[in-house]
Amino acid sequence: MPTALMATLRVDSDGVAHFALPRTEVGQGLSTMVTQLIAEELDQPLDKIVVTLEKARPDLLLNQQTGGSNSTRSIYTPTRTIAALARQRLRAAAAREWGVAPTRVTTRSGVLMGPGGRTASYGSMAERAASRTDVAEHVTLKHPSDFAVIGRPLGRVDARAAVTGQKKFTLDLDVTDALPTMIRRAPTVNGTVRSVANLAAVRSMPGVTDVARLRTGVAVRARTFGQCIDAVNALVVDWGPGTVDGQSDRSVRKALDRAMEPMPPQLPHSGGVDMTFRFAFRNISALEPGCAIADVRADRAEIWTCAKAPSVALAEIAAELGLSPTAVTLNVIPGGGSFGRALFTDAALDAALASQAMGKPVRLMVHRTDDVRHGRMHPMAVSHVRALWSGRDVVQMDQRHSCVQLDLSSGMGDVVAASGHLIPGLALLPLVKLSYVLSQNVPYDVGAVSQDVSQAFDVGQFRTGSMRQVFSPDSRTATELVIDRIAEAQGLDPYRFRMKFLRDDRIRACLREAARVGDWGRTLPPGVAQGVGVHGEYRSAAAVLVEIDCSEATTSRRIRNAIAGPRVTRVVVAVDVGVAVNPRGLEAQMQGAVMDGIAQTLTAGLHFDRGIPLEGSWDDYFYTRQWNCPLDLTVVVMPPTSESPGGAGELAVAPTMAAVACAYARATGVVPTQFPIAHGQLGFTPKKRSVLPPSPVDGLAHVF
């Protein structure tokens, strides 16, 4: 709240309104949503509003962080207030000019209208409306019943620029003398450089201008990225150890088991279920690889990159460069995806250190193989769930979650900011436990419920981060699978059990609608089954129904260089976010979250082996492929249940993952306990360690 209104909206003499968004656009449609908010309260045509991204501003504190699905609900009222204030000042300026009361001046689509048919454009009154001093004003926002733009489905304002190549991402920027730069990295995570045997020879290679040792490897600057790759691979490096050289999937799992907190004493009961679920490391890479442009001088630095926590990034970069934070400018650039990756400043820090070492501007790109192997991973986790019942009543449910130490150094947005006064003493909890306590819940009336998280390894040993929710996909999948087991013991089908025991009316309404649209209980062929999952978080609710085909004909499909496995054939998502500012954007968010949930359940996981993931690109990391996507995907946006929006970006990941897992269990008769389900099969030949693989030249052979 203290910094909520510290944003800038500027109306120029041409009538165009410019808004510096203190969040980051990474393809989630945030710029479009903000454009709608401004258009609504400013009464301005959409094409006369330009939304740009604010540079790093430490004075905004947590109000410049993009994550935790909190952007829309955090900036909804402040952005509307700023736009309404601008409209109010423009009306007042026109009233003074025409000598009438402000109440007699109205607006329509960027035009001021007064008595006697007088009109004026916003642009013509912009200078008159400006104030040279700070002025306190009261402004009244529109009532939801008067909305004309908020709630209207709208295509993304940057869609045409994106698909025609006109949208500018980091590597598209024209920064003088910023030449391509890449890094040779170690064969294990966090490995170090002992020595380089052939620096002079590499410096003399075609196009190479500079070679420098960094804390993360050896950087090469050249005329083209192709020349960078050739030079990087030519380096002869003696590597020092990394932080987890001796670790592989099996040893990490054992460490997680040892770290698990014990279950509480059991209440009197007549039956129960006790299950343990394991979740592999997962890749946190967006379609756009890690990249940054840096120009570091002796007394100042300027950085261009996608950053979802720009103030944290600026502070870290300044400290590493030995500069004052006021001497560093960090320009926030739209990103080609994030999934939590852009919360960390790894690429920007590498670029800054390379530029400092070389004394020249650099255009750094992280190779896709390094992005997967040396980037951020969602931590491996184990979830132990126990439920006990007495007769027809569930009397106790306990969950103990254990994961590799999660790096939350980028902060956790308003969750942490609010923790100190939400519950006395809560702020004293360690950050990861605090995040777990505030985000996880069991939305059913299942007696005494306890949930806790523990961690293994030290922070930084593994390069971890949160991906599309922190704990919810794993935690909810485990509890929802157990809910299905309880329903079976109670003689109820999964849907009816949930409808009976759900405590949240919004979740219940979503589940009812998903079941209705998805025709829950319909007759399906052998090997095909339905599953449901529910979730409430970010002041929003969602329910997901899926149908999965686990028949032999489907699972035995032969796909080149891949594992086919089951296919999710149908998905219905019912979502309640309160006010849906842009229902079309919300639908797109749910579609993306569904693909994430399918991937994490069935195919997408990293195989960690002797200090590094074996996966080395998207062709190895089996995110949901087109041939495994549901052909029938319906998103139902529920009617508004409040006058403000909740979060949406990550909301459907957890219930989708849970629904797919539950459907798989019903289709096969085997409850999955390892995720992704196909993790036991490698399905590819690992690329060499520490060497960047050659770019494929047979793309057309893979088209048909």
- pLDDT one-digit tens code per residue, 181-198: 999 999 999 999 999 999
Structure tokens at 308: 């979802």
pLDDT-based confidence at residue 340 (cuts at 50, 70, 90): confident
**Which residues is 211 bridged to in the sheet?**
220
Q: How far is CA 677 from CA 95, 353, 459, 548, 618, in A?
A: 67, 41, 28, 13, 18
**β-pairing, 377-378 with 17-21?**
unpaired
Considering only CA atoms, which of 282, 278, 281 is closest in space to residue 260? 278
Q: pLDDT value at position 196? A: 97
Q: How far is CA 83 from CA 5, 152, 153, 311, 616, in A?
A: 11, 18, 20, 25, 47
Q: Has residue 429 got a pLDDT over 60?
A: yes
Three-class secondary structure of residue 431 per DSSP: helix
Q: pLDDT value at position 421? A: 42
**8-156 to CATH, choices 3.30.365.10, 3.50.50.60, 3.40.50.300, 3.30.70.20:** 3.30.365.10
Q: What is the mean pLDDT of residues 217-231?
A: 97
Q: pLDDT value at position 411? A: 63
pLDDT-based confidence at residue 432 (cuts at 50, 70, 90): confident
Considering only CA atoms, which of 268, 265, 264 is closest in space to residue 395? 268
Considering only CA atoms, which of 654, 281, 605, 254 is closest in space to residue 474? 654
Question: Are 112 and 90 within 8 A, CB to CB?
Answer: yes
Q: Is 438 left (phi over 0), alpha (psi -120 to 50) or beta?
A: alpha
pLDDT tens track for 556-613: 998 877 778 999 999 999 999 999 999 999 999 999 999 999 999 999 999 999 999 9
Q: pLDDT value at position 699? A: 80
Question: Are 551 and 484 within 8 A, CB to CB?
Answer: no
Distance (Å, whole) CA 484 – CA 656: 15
pLDDT tens track for 378-405: 999 999 999 999 988 999 999 999 999 9
Burial class (CB in 10 A: 0-12, 13-18, 19+), 196: middle
The set of residues, in sequence order, having a beta carbon less than 8 Å from that of 102 and lying 6+ positions away, is 88, 91, 92, 95
Q: pLDDT value at position 395? A: 96
Q: pLDDT value at position 422? A: 45
Q: pLDDT value at position 427? A: 55
pLDDT-based confidence at residue 67 (cuts at 50, 70, 90): confident
Three-class secondary structure of residue 295 per DSSP: strand
Buried b (16+ CB within 10 A) or exposed e, 501-529: bbebebbbbbbbbbbeebebeeebeebbb
pLDDT-based confidence at residue 412 (cuts at 50, 70, 90): low
- Alpha-carbon Rg for the chain, nearest whole angstrom, is 27
pLDDT-based confidence at residue 435 (cuts at 50, 70, 90): confident
- Domain segments of the chain as ranges: 8-156, 170-242+290-365, 377-680
Q: pLDDT value at position 415? A: 43
Q: Beta strands of 223-270 (E only): which ranges?
A: 237-239
pLDDT tens track for 441-468: 999 999 999 999 999 999 899 999 988 8
pLDDT-based confidence at residue 414 (cuts at 50, 70, 90): very low
**170-242+290-365 to CATH, choices 3.30.465.10, 3.30.365.10, 3.40.50.410, 3.40.50.300:** 3.30.365.10
Q: pLDDT value at position 628? A: 85
Q: Residue 2, preceding bond cis, omega within 30 degrees?
A: no
Distance (Å, whole) CA 399 – CA 471: 12
**377-680 to CATH, choices 3.30.365.10, 3.40.50.300, 3.40.190.10, 3.30.70.270:** 3.30.365.10
Distance (Å, whole) CA 487 – CA 463: 39
Q: What is the mean pLDDT of residues 50-76?
A: 90
Helices (H), 545-640: 552-555, 583-602
Q: Has residue 424 got a pLDDT over 80?
A: no
Question: What 8-state DSSP symbol labels residue 464?
Answer: B
Considering only CA atoms, which of 662, 635, 673 is closest in space to residue 651? 635
Q: pLDDT value at position 420? A: 40
Considering only CA atoms, which of 334, 354, 351 is closest in space to residue 342? 334
**Which residues is 548 bridged to in the sheet?**
529, 568
pLDDT tens track for 608-654: 999 999 999 888 899 988 888 899 999 999 999 888 899 888 899 99
Mean pLDDT of the residues in the chain: 93
Query: Which one has a higher pLDDT value, 128 or 132?
Result: 128
Q: How many CB atoms lie within 10 A of CB 111?
A: 16
Among 118-122, 268-272, 686-690, where is mean pLDDT lowest? 686-690
Q: pLDDT value at position 81? A: 96
Q: pLDDT value at position 419? A: 41
Q: What is the mean pLDDT of residues 527-537?
A: 97
Considering only CA atoms, which of 472, 482, 595, 475 is closest in space to residue 541? 472
3-state SS of 442-482 is CCECCCEEEEEEEEECCECCECECCCCCCCHHHHHHHHHHH
Buried b (16+ CB within 10 A) or exposed e, 8-34: ebebeeebbbebbbbbbbbbbbbbbbb
Q: Has residue 91 got a pLDDT over 90?
A: yes
pLDDT-based confidence at residue 658 (cuts at 50, 70, 90): very high
Considering only CA atoms, which of 435, 405, 433, 436 is closest in space to residue 417? 435
Q: Has residue 682 got a pLDDT over 50?
A: yes
Question: What 8-state DSSP symbol labels residue 68?
Answer: T
One-letter identity of residue 136: A
Structure tokens at 300: 């100042």
The residue written with tokens 């004293």 in the block is 428
pLDDT tens track for 237-267: 999 999 999 999 999 999 999 999 999 999 9
Distance (Å, whole) CA 474 – CA 382: 8
pLDDT tens track for 271-317: 999 999 999 999 998 989 999 999 999 999 999 999 999 999 999 99
Q: Has residue 199 got a pLDDT over 90?
A: yes
Fold equal for 8-156 and 377-680? yes
Q: Has residue 704 got a pLDDT over 80?
A: no
Q: pLDDT value at position 426? A: 55
